[in-house]
Structures are given as C-alpha cells and as structure tokens.
Structure 1
C-alpha cells in the first residue's frame, strides 16, 4: 500500500530530524528552508516587527540545532515550532518591556539607546494605548500611579508626599493597575499587550 502524503511527510521529517540529531548540516538546511518562512510569519504576527521576527526565526532554528538527541522525540515538527516560536517571541517582548521600563525609571530615553526603528514604534504604540487608559483613571488613582510608575517613587515616598497612609497608596495603585490591565487587554493585540502587562507589574 502506498503511504499517504501525510505519512510520507511525517516519515521524511522523522528522518531529517534523526540526521540533524547526528549533526547533519544538509538535513538541517532542508528543515530550515521548509519551515523558516512559517516561523517568521508567526513571529511577525505577534511582534509586528520584520527585523525582530527575522532574528527570532534565526534564534528558533539555532535552538533546534542545539536540541541534538531531543529532536527524535518531536512528534509534530510544525506544532513544535509554533509553540517554540510563540514562547521565544513572548520572551523577547517581555525582555524589551523590562528594558524600556528600566530605562524610563532611570530617566533615560529608550530611543537614544536603541536603533531598531520598528522596536521603537512598538513602544510608541504601547505608550499611546497606556496613556489613553491613564487619562481615564480617577484623579487620585492617576496621581498615585504617575508618582509610582512614571516618577519611580516608592509607596512610602508617595504616602509622605500626599500626606496619606502607605496602605491608601497601595489601594489606589491596586485599583489603578486593575483598571489599566483591563483596558489594555481589550484595546490591543498580543504583542503590545505583553509589553503593557510587563510595564503594569506591581514591582517598584
């Protein structure tokens, strides 16, 4: 009986992965050229940056190459690459957001430290949505959020500055962050959402 197209593809992939596990560069090249466009498109859909999507695609396949013996355990390469790409893309977004958050807290201009135009555009879009949400906060919550998250003051410092208790500051922050997270989750895509959720963490 002639194997189906699906079975043939599966057997071909298993053979290629087995060869890659043994260090065969030619088999790796076949897998790379077969799947890298799909990996790139999937990363691009999340991160909205061509240059970053290209970097992610390259890094995903570097990781595939380094898996060595673990490659033969992969049952569905297409699904495996999708999960690997998603996880790595979200990791990149979280790293970018933390860098941006640290830069703002230190009073540095993120644009001056990064030349990736697309990356900066992502942050400008993120800031636009976040600023829209901040403007909708009640006055006291907005003030507390601004002092804590945008000026980098600790709860104790805000409490002293506003002549209110630390617990009141914390309560205002919790309400503000809850509203902001709900707002951004319904007004943006997954890439910017990851950045905003990182920026809206409570670690001060």
Structure 2
C-alpha cells in the first residue's frame, strides 16, 4: 500500500487542486513556523509559505512521489530564506553606496550609517503594501502614476501612502542632527 503522501503527490502530478490543498493543510503551519524562526516576521513567513507552495504548484508535474516531500519542501523554503537575506544585504549595501555622502569624517560616517540603519529598520517594519509603494517611489524612482498603474490603485492613494511613511520617518528620527536634515533633503522629500 502506497503512503498517503505519495498518493497526494501522484494526484498533484495530475493537477489535483484537492491534493494540493491537502498538502498545504499538512505542511503550511510547519513551514510558517520554520520561516518565522529565521525571518522574525509573521508577514514574511506567510509570504514564504505562499512562495514555496507556488513553486510546488508550478512544478507539480516534476514532483517525484518516491522522494521525501517534506525534505523537498523545506529545501525550497531554506533557499527562499537564503535569497531573502541575500537580497536584503544587497539592498542595504545599495543604500549605503548610493546615499553615503563622500567627504564625511569617521564620526559623521558612523552617525550617517546609524541614521540609514534606523531608516531601514523603520521601512522594513511597514505594512507590506506601504513598504512596497515607498520602495518603488524612493528606491526605484517610479512616479505615483507608474506605481498606481503597477499596483492597480489610484495615484492619490500612492501619494497618501508615501506621505504617511515620510511623516512616520520624520517623527522617529532625531531632527537636530545636521546629517538627518541632509538625509531627508536628499532621500525622503
């Protein structure tokens, strides 16, 4: 008699949504807990589960019922987490390389880096949609109209979201520092 997991994978190979749903029901909570342990964010862990199962669905015809599905699933999740941290590191390096003014003293560089780190943390804590809008605007240079078209929302919604993020950043960063003023002038406004 074939194990239930092998039967589900065989059915998934044929495109069975029911088999997919059952595998999701069985493994999503464990995968979420695994992602939460590393990503430290419920939203990011939920996105991880969605991404992993999207890959499972896209590759449903290639799944082998004789292989350990759980190992395969967690290998995909582990690779997704690695990619997440690689992209985050590249993102932070890009911010540092692009925004760090050239002629700062060591103390000013440390202060500026601290401001960038604080800003990055605040941005990463934003709700995913607001974070996406802000990054598209400030890091990718897209206009409100472009973002609105991309996300299927109104340009006014985009402007409101960006305004809320700027207000939040200004309220959380010490405005008495000259570098903070420079940062907001170059980056946020």
> Which category of TM-score, normalised to the shorter sequence, fits these structures?
0.5 to 0.7
Stretch of structure 1 that moved more, 70-79 or 60-69: 70-79
RMSD across aligned C-alpha pairs, in angstroms?
2.6
2:46 alignment counterpart: 54
Q: Could you tell me which of 86, 89, 95 is aligned with 2:87?
A: 95
Stretch of structure 1 that moved more, 74-83 or 14-23: 74-83
- Is 1:116 equivalent to 2:124 in the alignment? yes
Whether the aligned pair in 1 keeps the contact of 2:10 and 2:65 (CA below 8 Å) is no
1:84 alignment counterpart: 76
Within 1, Cα distance between the matches of 2:40 and 2:93? 20
User: Which residues of structure 1 form unaligned runs of 5+?
Assistant: 120-204
1:72 alignment counterpart: 64
Q: Aligned to 1:102, what secondary structure does the other structure show?
A: helix
Within 2, Cα distance between the matches of 1:67 and 1:54? 20
Within 2, Cα distance between the matches of 1:112 and 1:98? 13
1:74 deviation in Å?
A: 5.3
**Residue 69 to residue 60, structure 1, CA distance change in 2 (3 Å):** same
- Is 1:33 equivalent to 2:25 in the alignment? yes
1:33 deviation in Å?
A: 1.0
Whether the aligned pair in 2 keeps the contact of 1:17 and 1:71 (CA below 8 Å) is yes
* Larger RCO: 1 or 2 (CA < 8 Å, sep 6+): 1
Stretch of structure 1 that moved more, 102-111 or 80-89: 102-111
Q: TM-score, normalised on structure 2?
A: 0.52
1:48 deviation in Å?
A: 1.5
Is the radius of gyration larger for structure 1 or structure 2? 1
1:20 deviation in Å?
A: 1.1
User: Which residues of structure 2 form unaligned runs of 5+?
Assistant: 101-115, 128-189
Give the count of matched residue pairs: 111
1:20 alignment counterpart: 12
- Write out per-residue CA displacement over residues 60-116 of structure 1, whole angstroms, 9 at most, x where no aligned residue: 000001112211255111111121111111111111110111011111757379743
Whether the aligned pair in 2 keeps the contact of 1:49 and 1:118 (CA below 8 Å) is no
